[in-house]
């Protein structure tokens, strides 16, 4: 079982990556957010499922 430090490191990395666009280009981030709000629920779910599957594949590949 992975150590607790690995989970906290992974969470920290997610927060760093998620914060890059609003920090470096807040206007572009705002535009992207407006576009996301216009998507249908099914489209947002598709991106969510795709992200989860891609993350699982990467974890499997690294493991």
Per-residue pLDDT at 61 = 92
According to the model, what pLDDT value does residue 7 have? 87
Instruction: Give the model's confidence band at 4: pLDDT under 50 very low, under 70 low, under 90 confident, else very high.
Output: confident
List pLDDT tens digits, range 14-41: 999 999 999 999 999 999 999 999 999 9
Structure confidence at residue 51 (pLDDT): 95
Q: Which residues contact 32 (CB under 8 A, 6 or more apart)?
A: 21
Q: How confident is the model at residue 2 (pLDDT cuts 50, 70, 90)?
A: low
Q: How many domains does the chain have?
A: 1
Domain extent at residue 55: 4-62
3: part of which helix (H) or strand (E)? none
- Alpha helix stretches (DSSP H) within 1-63: 4-24, 26-37, 41-62
């Amino acid at each position: 079982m992975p150590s607790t430090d690995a989970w906290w490191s992974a969470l920290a990395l997610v927060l760093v990556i998620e914060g890059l666009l609003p920090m470096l280009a807040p206007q572009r981030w705002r535009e992207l957010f407006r576009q996301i709000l216009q998507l249908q629920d099914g489209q947002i779910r598709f991106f969510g499922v795709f992200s989860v599957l891609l993350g699982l594949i990467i974890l499997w590949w690294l493991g």
